[in-house]
Chains A and B, each alone.
Chain A
Amino acid sequence: MGSVAERSKALDLGSSLSGGVGLVSVLMVFVWLGENQVSPLRPICDLRVLDHFVREARDSEVIMRGCRGGCGVMKSYFVPLTSVDFAVWEHTDVHGQAVEVQTGLSLLDQALNNAMKTVSNSPLASALENNISNIHSLGQILHSLDLQQARSTVLPDDSVPASAQTQEVSSLPELLQVQSSFLRGKVRLLLSAAPACQRQNS
C-alpha cells in the first residue's frame, strides 16, 4: 500500500529534481554566456567619426567665444589631463591607454553635465548636449574595439577624487578647450592604434 504512494512520491521528487537541474543548467548557461559576452558590435575603425566629434567640440568653443549672457558661471571642474608625450605614450600599453581614455571621457561627461545646469543660452546648451551624446558614442566605439576595460561608473557629484590623472579648471571655456584637446589627443591616438583595427588592416 505504501509502496505505490512512495513510488509516486519518489517519481514526483525525481521529476521535480530533474526539472530543477535542467533549469539550473540552463540558467548557468545563460550566466556563462552573459559573462563571456561576445561583442555584438563590429569594430568601428573609421576615424572620421571621431573627427566629426572633434569638429563639434570645436564648434562649442566657437559658440562659447561668441556667447553673451547665460553662458555659465565660474565653477571648478575636474577634467582629465590632456598632454601627450609621445615618448611616454608609446611606452604605455594599449590597456593602460584605454583606461586613461575611459576615465577621462567619464570625467568630461560629468563636467559637461554640471556645466549645462548653469547655461541658459540656447545655442550653447544645444552644443553642450551634442558633446555629451558624442562622448557616449565614443564609449560605444571603444566598446566595439574591445577597449572598454572598466565599465563607466557614474560617480556622484562632487566626490571625484583628485588623482594624478586629473586637473582642475575654473571656467566653461577652459573645460571646452580641455574636451577638444582630449579628443584630438589621447582618444584619437588610442583609436588609431586599436588592435582590433590593426588586425583588420593587416
Chain B
Amino acid sequence: MRNDRLKIVFVLCLAFVSTGGQHLESKVVQLLQDEAEDIKCFVEGKDLTCFWEEEEERNNLHDQYTFTYSYENKKKMACVVSSLSLLASNKTVFFCKLPKTPFFTTLVVQVYRDAQMLYSRSLNAENFLFLDPPRNLTVTNSGKEGQLNVSWLPPPLKYMDDSLIYEVRYAMEGSNMGKVEVIKVSTMLVLLGLQSDTRYKVWVRVKPDGVAYKGYWSAWTEPVFGVTQPGDMDPLIVVLVLFIGLILCLLSLTVILSHHKFLLKKLWPDIPTPEHKFPGLFTVYKGDFKEWMSQNNGSIWGRSVHVYAEELPSPLEVLSEVSLTGHATSQREERKPVEEEEEKESERSDSRLTDRWREPPHAHWLMEQLRALQDNPESLSQSSLLQSHDTYVTLNQGDNERQDDDVFEETVPLQTLFTTAGTSSLSTSRSDLGSLQQSSGSGRLSSQSSFEYPNHTWPPKGPGYAYMAVADSGVSMDYSPMSSSRIAELGKHRMYTNDYKNDIFPHKWPLSGQHIKSGSGSCTGTVW
C-alpha cells in the first residue's frame, strides 16, 4: 500500500515536472541567449530558479555541483541541484529552485564544484521576474471602421497586477511588418488606424513595469486573428463625386453643342465633290461635259484655276518666231503678262493642267498662229529678237529633216497641249508629249515634267539665236544664257524621259496624250 502511494506520488511528480519542465525549458532556452551572466536566474511565480551550463570539457556525471545562497548576512543555505537536457541544442544545464525565495533583499548565490567555487552572483529576486504570457487574448470588431478591440487577462499573480506593462503587436495577415503598442496596467486596447476589411494578427506579451518589480519580457502569446469591418463609402464623398460628374457632363455637353458643326466636320467630313466647281454641270447638263463647256466658255474656270495653289498657271504662249535682226512678225500678237512669268516660277509640273485649262481662251488665237506657221514654214528657221522678258515658247513645227536626236538639255518644261484641226503639217513626231529634262544648274529638282521626244531635235537656230536656259526647281527659276554652240552641243544628246513626279498629272497623261497625238512640236523656252 505504501508502495502504491509512492508510485502515485512519483507519477504525479513526473507529470508536474514534465509540464513545469516545458515552461522551464522554454525560459531556459531564451535566457541562455539573452543573459550573459554565468549563473542565470529568473523568478517564475514566487520561486527563484538559477541555472548554469555544463562545462564542455567535463562530461563526468559524477561531478558534484553545490548551490548555496544566503541573504541578510545569515548563514548559507543549500539548494538541491537538478539537471535538464535541452532537446533543441543538445546541451545540459544544471538548475536549482530556491524553496522559499526571499524578495526585496540581496541574495548571494554561489555554485561550487567539488568544494571549489565556480560562479558567484548577488542579486535581488524581485528584479528578475520572468512572467508567463498573458492569457485569454481576444480580438473583436469594435463596430467602427478601421478599429479592433483587443483584450486579455494578466498572468496569475498576486500583488503585481498594477505594476505590469504590456506590449501588443499587430500585423496584417501574411505580412511580417507589425506595429507595436505599449500599454500600462490596462488589459485592453483599441487598435486604431487599421485598413478596413482586412485580417489582422495580434500578439501580446507582458513585463513588470520596473518600478517595484523588474524582469524579462514574457514570451508572445499565440496569435489571434481579427477582421476589421468593411469600409463604407463616406456618403459625403459619394455625393461630391456625383455632383462633380454632373457638372463635367453639363460642361462637355455645352461645349459639344456649341461647336457641333465644327466637330461634325472633323469627325464626319463631307466627301468632297467637284460639283461646286462646275456650276450646273450635274444639275443642268446632266454630266454632259461638252455641252457644259460650250455653254460656260470657261470663264469660270479661269477663275477657279487660280484657287489651286499647286496649279499655278504656267502659261504657254506660242508665238511665231521672230528674228534677231528685229523683224517682228505681225503674227506675234500677245505678250504674256509679267504675272504669268511669276506664275511660271512655281511648280512647272502643274503647267500642263494649267495650260490645258487655259487653252480655251487662247485656243482660237493659237489655231490662227498655227495656220500661219503652216503657211510659212520657213519662218521657223528665222529667229527674231524678242523684246520682252517673258518666257516664250517657240513651237518647232518639227520638220521631217530634223531627225537628229538632239536634246535640249535645259529647257522650260512646258507642255504644249493644243488641239489642232489640221495636223498634217504637224505630224512629224508621234510622240505624245515633249519630254524635257528639267534640271537646274544648282541641281534642285522638286518637280519635273517629262516630255517624250525621241525623234525630236532641237534645231540650232543659228548664231542669231540667243537661248536662255531656264532651270526650274519648282520654287525658283535659274536663268542662264546659253550660246548657240552650247545648244548645238546639247542638241546632240539624246533626249530622255523622266518620270513625272507630280501626282496630279499621271491621270491626265492619257488625256493630254490623246490630245497631242495628232501632232506636237519641240519646245524651247527663251527668256530675254
Q: Is the CB of A188 within 8 A of B102?
A: no
Q: Is the CB of B104 within 8 A of A85?
A: no
A84 interface hit (Cβ, 8 Å): yes
Q: Is the CB of A85 within 8 A of B162?
A: no
B211 interface hit (Cβ, 8 Å): yes
> Of A12-20, A126-134, A179-187, which binds chain B?
A179-187
Residue of A nearest to B105 (CB): A83
Residue in B46, B71, B212 whose CB lies within 8 Å of A83? B71
Task: Please tell me the number of chain A residues within 8 Å of chain B, measured between CB atoms.
Answer: 22
A78-118 to B contact mask, C-beta < 8 Å, 1/0: 00011111110000000000000000000000000000000
B119-138 to A contact mask, C-beta < 8 Å, 1/0: 00000101000000000000
Residue in A87, A167, A184 whose CB lies within 8 Å of B100? A87
**Chain B nearest CB: distance from A88 CB in Å?**
8
**Chain B nearest CB: distance from A99 CB in Å?**
18
A177 interface hit (Cβ, 8 Å): yes
Q: Is the CB of A192 within 8 A of B103?
A: no
A135 interface hit (Cβ, 8 Å): no
Residue of B nearest to A87 (CB): B100
Chain B residues, Cβ within 8 Å of A193: 159
Residue in A47, A83, A184, A189 whose CB lies within 8 Å of B102? A83
Residue in B73, B104, B212 whose CB lies within 8 Å of A82? B104
**Chain B nearest CB: distance from A197 CB in Å?**
11
**Chain B nearest CB: distance from A55 CB in Å?**
7
A147 interface hit (Cβ, 8 Å): no
Q: Is the CB of B73 within 8 A of A167?
A: yes
The winner among B73, B100, B124, B211 for most chain A CB atoms within 10 A is B211
Which residues of chain A from 162 to 195 have any CB-CB distance to chain B below 8 Å in the complex? 167, 177, 181-182, 184-186, 188-189, 192-193
Chain B residues, Cβ within 8 Å of A84: 102-105
Chain B residues, Cβ within 8 Å of A186: 104
Bound complex: CA A55 to CA B163 (Å): 14
Bound complex: CA A54 to CA B209 (Å): 13
Q: Is the CB of B100 within 8 A of A85?
A: yes
Q: Is the CB of B212 within 8 A of A51?
A: yes
Residue of B nearest to A188 (CB): B212
Residue in A47, A55, A185 whose CB lies within 8 Å of B104? A185
B379 interface hit (Cβ, 8 Å): no
Chain A residues, Cβ within 8 Å of B213: 184
Bound complex: CA A181 to CA B101 (Å): 15
Which label, helix, strand, loop or mixed, suits the secondary structure of the A interface? helix
Q: Is the CB of A81 within 8 A of B212?
A: no
Q: Is the CB of B104 within 8 A of A184?
A: yes
Q: Is the CB of B212 within 8 A of A54?
A: yes
**Chain B nearest CB: distance from A82 CB in Å?**
5
**Number of cross-chain contacts by CB at 8 Å:** 56
B72 interface hit (Cβ, 8 Å): yes
Which residues of chain B from 193 to 230 have any CB-CB distance to chain A below 8 Å in the complex? 211-213
**Chain B nearest CB: distance from A65 CB in Å?**
15
Bound complex: CA A33 to CA B212 (Å): 39
Residue in A54, A82, A86, A189 whose CB lies within 8 Å of B46? A86
Known: A51-B212, A185-B126. A85 touches B102 (CB 8 A): yes
Bound complex: CA A81 to CA B71 (Å): 11
Q: Is the CB of B100 within 8 A of A181?
A: no
Chain B residues, Cβ within 8 Å of A185: 103-105, 126
B66 interface hit (Cβ, 8 Å): no
Q: Is the CB of A81 within 8 A of B72?
A: yes
B106 interface hit (Cβ, 8 Å): yes
Bound complex: CA A85 to CA B100 (Å): 7
Q: Is the CB of B126 within 8 A of A184?
A: yes
**Chain A nearest CB: distance from B2 CB in Å?**
29
Chain B residues, Cβ within 8 Å of A184: 104, 126, 211-213
Bound complex: CA A122 to CA B106 (Å): 28
Chain B residues, Cβ within 8 Å of A54: 211-212
**Chain B nearest CB: distance from A110 CB in Å?**
20
**Chain B nearest CB: distance from A189 CB in Å?**
6
**Chain B nearest CB: distance from A115 CB in Å?**
19
Chain A residues, Cβ within 8 Å of B100: 85, 87
Known: A54-B211, A82-B104, A185-B104. A192 touches B73 (CB 8 A): no
Q: A47-B162, A167-B72, A181-B104 given. 5 additional CB < 8 A pairs? A: A84-B104, A85-B100, A85-B103, A177-B106, A185-B126
6 closest A-B pairs by CB: A185-B104, A83-B105, A83-B102, A181-B104, A51-B211, A184-B212
Query: Could you list 19 examples of A-B contacts with CB < 8 Å?
Result: A47-B163, A51-B163, A51-B212, A81-B105, A82-B105, A83-B103, A83-B104, A85-B100, A85-B101, A85-B102, A86-B158, A87-B100, A181-B106, A184-B212, A184-B213, A185-B104, A186-B104, A188-B212, A192-B162
Task: Report A's interface with B, CB cutoff 8 A.
Answer: 47, 51, 54-55, 81-87, 167, 177, 181-182, 184-186, 188-189, 192-193
